[in-house]
Amino acid sequence: MPGELVFSLEDPCDSAVRKLRNIGVSGQSEMYSGQQSDQGPSASSGKEFSEVNWNFVTMHQKMGYNSGPYGSGPCSMELEERPGLYRSSTVTFSQNIQMSDEHIGVVKKRKGIDDGVALLRNAGDQQTEGSSQLERNSMEEGNRKILLKMQSKEDSSDGDGTKEDYVHVRAKRGQATNNHSLAERLRRKKISERMKLLQDLVPGCSKITGKAVMLDEIINYVQSLQRQVEFLSMKLATVNPELGFDIEQILSKQMMLSQDRHLAFYGDDVGSSSLVAQFNQGIMQPEMMCNISNPLNVFQGTIHEVSTMNQIPAMWEGLQNGPHMNFNPGVAADSSTNNSGSMKIEQ
Amino acid sequence: MAAKRTAPPPANPNPNRRRVTSAADDSASAPPSKRMLAFHFLRALSRIHSSTPVPRRTRTIRRAAYSSMARAASPRSAWSRALLRQVRVRRAVRSRRAVLMRRRVSAAPAPPLGASRSSVSAGQTSVAPPVRTPPPRQEGEPARADALRQLIPGGNGMEYCSLLEETADYVRCLRAQVQLMQGLVDLFSGQ
């Protein structure tokens, strides 16, 4: 339900809502007092109203992005819901308001309905239908209608509607401000943003303009990467690793201590204590026996972290104040003390 | 070599650095952590080399590469979840098949053979991940987008918009994985 989505965003905006409401109220009274043919003051107030709305609405946009996972689904639903509301309520309001095609999406809030409803009721009792719809949809219809009147009154010389759908989509002059076209435009904007991202990722695509060619390039690139993975896995299968693969233990030790979050998330089954226990021996032995330092030299250019793993023991002492690990080949003999020490670190 | 070992390490505040990289997400996805990649992949690699016989290693290593990629990636991305789901399904299928094979071997030859074979196939189809029909919501490019969907794991259930985002994340992770594997190959073959 879009209503629920709105609800979550309610609180940070309270002050802005009130500001909006105030201006809306004043604007509306102006409308009432003035005539419906009077364009001047309402136009200007409409403009400033739109200014305020813009600021308010940008805040909304940020929050809209925070609720990202919902994507554009619920938002588009809301857009579609609006026309009905508009039609029912605006007709009752005043006659020369152009109808729903001119509507502008407004900030959706739950609060402030009361004021809007009150104003509506003042205007006439045909509002009951509108107000009931208001309550049903729990949106700030009052402000929205005010905004609608404002902006439909002004001859929209700037042609601007501040559409608000948790994300800004600004209608250019002469563009339809229909619900569907709004959603369309939003979607297109998202797609173009993402294509730009992809363009940066895929090498050699900076010059390409046009979605079709770009998409082909992306597909080619992904395919080539996958082929590379296949090829490299074949190579890795044939090449026999001569390291004692206690490097893996070193790595796992690193992982254990500094990225518990990831592991906890995946519920990894890596036993930390056993690795810790073998840590010291693990480091020393392969380095002594397998003559690792040379290949790790090569490694250093390509994979940074393993080279740093090579120097873990020295760093370890710096990092931890606990036990002392003697960095000499004889440490394997002290395994018991080292184990206890490192176990202490773990806890 | 001894000098290399005792040389002062490069300034490397490990815990902080990794936290920073993992916390650095934009509204797009964060770059994959290379440590996690290396960790998972190396662990799988060592396991493979010790256990699997040679003829089927390539496939296994490739699968291990994708699995480690999926694990290292942020679980927010849909493709990583889809990949892990695939792995789980495959494992379930394989275990089921192993069980049925055992039953088949132990039981009488002809009728249980047919039964087990059909049940194996049935089991496969039933355990197979539910094929989601592609949502016909695209107004973008339908033809090529399907090709992209097939490439990206889990791409069949996505809209075009989210497909692009997943592609970006997938490309980043894939590139990191390729770099890792290339480095390993160089390492191993450089000895």
* DSSP state string for chain B: -HHHHHSPPP---HHHHHHHHHH---SSPPPPPHHHHHHHHHHHHHHHHHHS-GGGHHHHHHHHHHHHHHHHS-TTSHHHHHHHHHHHHHHHHHHHHHHHHHHHHHS-SHHHHHHHHHHHHHHHHHHSPPPPPPPTT--S-HHHHHHHHHHSTTGGG--HHHHHHHHHHHHHHHHHHHHHHHHHHHHHHT-
Tell me: the pLDDT tens digits for A56-65?
444 444 444 4
- In this complex, is the C-beta atom of A260 within 8 Å of any C-beta atom belonging to chain B? no
- pLDDT value at A227 more than 90: yes
Q: Which residue of B has its CA nearest to A240?
A: B188
Please enumerate in sequence order all residues whose Cβ is within 8 A of that of A83, keeping only pairs 6 or more positions apart, or say none. A100, A103, A179
Inter-chain residue contact B168 with A251, CB threshold 8 Å: no
User: Between A315 and B62, whose confidence is greater?
Assistant: B62
Q: Which of A100-104, A249-253, B63-67 has the lowest mean pLDDT?
A: A100-104
- In this complex, is the C-beta atom of A220 within 8 Å of any C-beta atom belonging to chain B? no
Query: What is the pLDDT, as a whole number, of residue A331?
Result: 40
Query: What is the pLDDT, as a whole number, of residue A224?
Result: 93
Selected residue of B47, B167, B179 to mutate for chain A interface (largest A Cβ count, 10 A): B167
Query: What is the pLDDT, as a whole number, of residue A225?
Result: 92
Tell me: the pLDDT tens digits for A183-203?
888 888 888 888 888 888 888
Selected residue of A76, A196, A303, A317 to mutate for chain B interface (largest B Cβ count, 10 A): A303
Distance CA B181, CA A251 (A): 16
Segment B58-69 mean pLDDT = 84
Instruction: Give A283→chain B minimum CA distance, Å.
Output: 11
Q: Which of A170-179, A213-222, A252-261, A263-272 has the lowest mean pLDDT?
A: A263-272
Inter-chain residue contact A219 with B49, CB threshold 8 Å: no
Residues in chain B with CB shorter than 8 Å from the CB of A310 are: 4-5
Query: What is the pLDDT, as a whole number, of residue A223?
Result: 92
Q: What is the share, in percent, of chain B residues with pLDDT greater than 90?
A: 1
Q: What is the pTM of this model?
A: 0.47
Tell me: the pLDDT tens digits for A150-166?
444 444 444 444 444 56
Q: Which residue among B38, B175, B183 places its CB closest to the CB of A251?
A: B38
Tell me: the pLDDT tens digits for A107-133?
444 444 444 444 444 444 444 444 444
Tell me: the pLDDT tens digits for B22-56?
443 444 556 767 888 888 888 887 777 777 666 77
Q: pLDDT grade, residue A181 (50/70/90)?
A: confident
- pLDDT value at B114 more than 80: no
- In this complex, is the C-beta atom of A271 within 8 Å of any C-beta atom belonging to chain B? no
Tell me: the pLDDT tens digits for A282-311?
433 433 343 434 444 444 444 444 444 444
Query: What is the pLDDT, as a whole number, of residue B131?
Result: 56
Segment A319-331 mean pLDDT = 42
Selected residue of B5, B19, B59, B79 to mutate for chain A interface (largest A Cβ count, 10 A): B5
Tell me: the pLDDT tens digits for B120-171?
444 444 445 555 555 555 665 667 788 888 888 887 877 888 888 888 989 9
Inter-chain residue contact A302 with B28, CB threshold 8 Å: no
Query: What is the pLDDT, as a whole number, of residue A138?
Result: 45
Distance CA A34, CA A28 (A): 10
Residue B3 burial (10 A CB sphere; 0-12, 13-18, 19+): exposed
Query: What is the pLDDT, as a whole number, of residue B134?
Result: 53
Query: What is the pLDDT, as a whole number, of residue A39?
Result: 45
